[in-house]
Amino acid sequence: MDALIQRIMRDGRNLGNGILKVDGFINHQVDPVLMQACGEALAQRFAHVGAQKILTAEISGIAPAVMTGAFLGLPVVYARKKKPVTMPTKVYHTQAPSHTKGVMVDLIVSSEFVHMGERILIIDDFLATGLTTEGLVRLVQQAEAQLVGIGALVEKQFEGGRALLAQYGVPIETLATIVNMDDGKIAL
């Protein structure tokens, strides 16, 4: 998607170690016009999968997931990192590594919001190693729901996440693909 690619090239920063800083428009300060366009593009790519809900990870996946949900007319559920007191006892829980935090993080979803047999589309901000997305897949599996697709704004192709997730046999779509981040550059 041209608008996202242009924005990454203009405002994205390579911080080294595979970290792409996009917090000025995706995951700290959100550009709602850009997210709306991204949501529309992802919705078009997944219109055919028959999703009933969208699942994402707290916090950076919420903006693209909500915008995609708006265009598809679907509710969005996000996996929490901490269980609030309002969440029921029965939850789906797993852990996944956070590349930017360098630690394992909890992914928790209430059993109230993801149900057996539901068709779930995963949307997130990044597809890198695929390990966070795979954590979301585990939550779908725990709920005995059906994974129907995986989408992300930005794919860091050199980290191999797409190959890891291919085992699930669902469409995988991303809007901008970074092929490498060598020598402080961002190569799309």
In the chain, where the domains are located: 2-15+22-179
Helix, strand, coil percent values for the chain (each to nearest 5): 35, 35, 30
- Interval 55-109: pLDDT, tens: 999 999 999 999 999 999 999 999 999 999 999 999 999 999 987 777 999 999 9
* Tally of CA atoms within 13 A in the half-sphere of 12 that contains its CB: 22
Q: What is the pTM of this model?
A: 0.97
- Interval 117-160: pLDDT, tens: 999 999 999 999 999 999 999 999 999 999 999 999 999 999 99
Query: Residue 94: enclosing H or E segment and its boundaries?
Result: strand 91-98
Q: According to the CATH classification, is domain 2-15+22-179 in 3.40.50.2020?
A: yes
